[in-house]
Chains A and B, each alone.
Chain A
Amino acid sequence: MDQAQSKKQLYQKRVEEVSPKSNLLVNCAWAFLVGGLICTFGQIITNIVKNLGYTRDEAAMITSIVLVFIGAFLTGLNLYDRIGKYAGAGSIIPITGFANSIVSPAMEFKKEGYIFGLGAKMFTVAGPVLVYGLLASVIVGLYYYLIH
């Protein structure tokens, strides 16, 4: 059994060596650039909306709505996955990526019907983000309540 185990370990080590690695530096640079562009674009929207006389909170909300719309729209045009191919975390982490993660399964599972397909599968990727995001906010909320 030990021999089998060491054979496995040797093989796994060799697989590590043979498998091509993605270029971390290039990927980080792309993520920084595209992620930064999305955030800068968001800031431009916020500033424009604030100049139109909305409060900071309202401007933040409007910015989110605009960015989510753009993310969803680009997903529908089959463009967001192409951006994501280069940008990686740079385009999946911002709110536009959240929109992409909801719209892409919705598009894919529309054929299984609006209830069990689109409706049920829409949150397969984004679901965990929502669950743990809400859970974290409840914990922070309780903590805030208790120390005050």
Chain B
Amino acid sequence: MWKHLGEQTIRFEAPPTILSAASTVGPKEGKGPLAPYFDVILEDVLWGEDTWEKAETKILKETIQRAISKANLDVEQIQYIFAGDLLNQLTATSFAMRDFKIPFFGLYGACSTMAESMSLGAIMIDGGYADYVIAATSSHYCSAEKQFRYPLQLGVQRPLTASWTVTGSGAVVLSKEGLGPYVTYITTGKVVDLGIKDSMNMGASMAPAAADTIINHLLDTNRTPDYYDLIITGDLGSVGKQLVIEMAGEHDYDLSKNYTDCGVEIFDATSQDTHAGGSGCACAAVTLTGYILKEMEKETFQKVLFIPTGALLSSLSSQQGESVPGIAHAVAIESQLE
């Protein structure tokens, strides 16, 4: 059990390298502050398809393809794909997988999926079961709204705590060999529920899970927040970000300096009218594969703790009066090995 640290963390003996990363985003994200970092910015949300669901499948498929070519690999060299999305029965992902003849694990972690896929992919590689693994995820504003909320043309007001699902996809190729950045630790989150029932305030429902995972990661690894150049959660938005800082503060961890949230960074909340910020699987995924990894290449960041967060609700569970449980998984990404 020596690879297992403390309560929830794994330290990789042979940390996998993130060999390549690819990102695709929709037009709205392409007008946001992170626009220069993305590989592909779509001009329209359908991308030549006739449904949003098909468009999401295409976005995921092309992003995975791009990550493979960036790594100078052939599709046949990839041994496993770990991926998932927000749609019922993971159709966006499984339909994309029809065209790859690669063994596939479908994952649902709501918007935390990028960390879930990277964690399992890294375990696969460190365990010696694979040389190259893809970890990917996608989300689409229109298909998510259709499934979880109201028709797009319905003239209702969104509350200020609501977030905006990011259209896009991020994929990474994890490799046994490589010169980094490395996935050094993962801390797998527990489901945490402090009884928030408002499905339009997902930042508040996920913040306790994010804080719990961050605190347990720091305890398990015996690190302090300032060990990292950047600690970044997935899609808590402005409300959830504030709550995480407060909850970590109660445990004497000061996150006020190097902590932010992908949902806060990806949109300009005032000019893009996204209210609390971005959300969706792609929010964390494209921020990682676009912004974070590219900045790591430039050595702006060397040690990053990436914590995608998921709100585990369905459209039925909210109507049945259930609260919204949250989950968050942490992945430590470092340019150098200790």
Q: Which residues of A are at the interface with B, using a C-beta cutoff of 8 A?
A: 7-8, 11-12, 14-15, 18-22, 27, 75, 78, 80-85, 87-88, 91-92, 97, 100-101, 103-105, 107-109, 111, 125
Among B35-43, B149-157, B215-223, B288-296, the one that faces the other chain is B149-157
Contact with A27, one of B157, B196, B243 (Cβ below 8 angstroms)? B157
A80, B157: Cβ atoms closer than 8 Å: no
Q: Which of A11, A21, A101, A105 has the most CB of B within 10 A?
A: A11
Report the bound CA distance from A109 to B145 in whole Å: 12
- On whether A14 and B195 interact (CB within 8 A), knowing A107-B153, A125-B154, the answer reads no
List A contacts of B154 (CB < 8 A). Answer: 81, 84, 100-101, 104-105, 125
Report the bound CA distance from A21 to B239 in whole Å: 11
B239, A19: Cβ atoms closer than 8 Å: yes
List B contacts of A84 (CB < 8 A). Answer: 154-157
Cβ-closest chain B residue relative to A108: B151
B118 at the interface (CB under 8 A from A): no
List A contacts of B257 (CB < 8 A). Answer: none
* Distance from B209 Cβ to chain A, minimum over Cβ atoms (Å): 12
List B contacts of A19 (CB < 8 A). Answer: 160-161, 201, 204, 239
List A contacts of B158 (CB < 8 A). Answer: 85
A12, B152: Cβ atoms closer than 8 Å: no
What interface size band does chain B fall in?
A: 20 to 34
* Distance from B52 Cβ to chain A, minimum over Cβ atoms (Å): 8
Cβ-closest chain A residue relative to B208: A11
- On whether A8 and B161 interact (CB within 8 A), knowing A18-B242, A104-B154, the answer reads no
Q: Can you list 9 A-B contacts (CB < 8 A)?
A: A8-B195, A11-B195, A27-B157, A81-B152, A100-B153, A104-B151, A108-B152, A109-B151, A111-B51
* Distance from B204 Cβ to chain A, minimum over Cβ atoms (Å): 4
A21, B160: Cβ atoms closer than 8 Å: yes
Cβ-closest chain A residue relative to B153: A104
- On whether A100 and B155 interact (CB within 8 A), knowing A14-B246, A108-B146, A125-B150, the answer reads yes
A12, B194: Cβ atoms closer than 8 Å: yes
Cβ-closest chain A residue relative to B197: A12
- On whether A7 and B194 interact (CB within 8 A), knowing A15-B204, A15-B243, A20-B161, the answer reads yes
B50 at the interface (CB under 8 A from A): yes
Complex A-B, nearest 5 residue pairs according to Cβ-Cβ distance, in ascending order: A84-B155, A104-B153, A104-B151, A108-B151, A20-B160
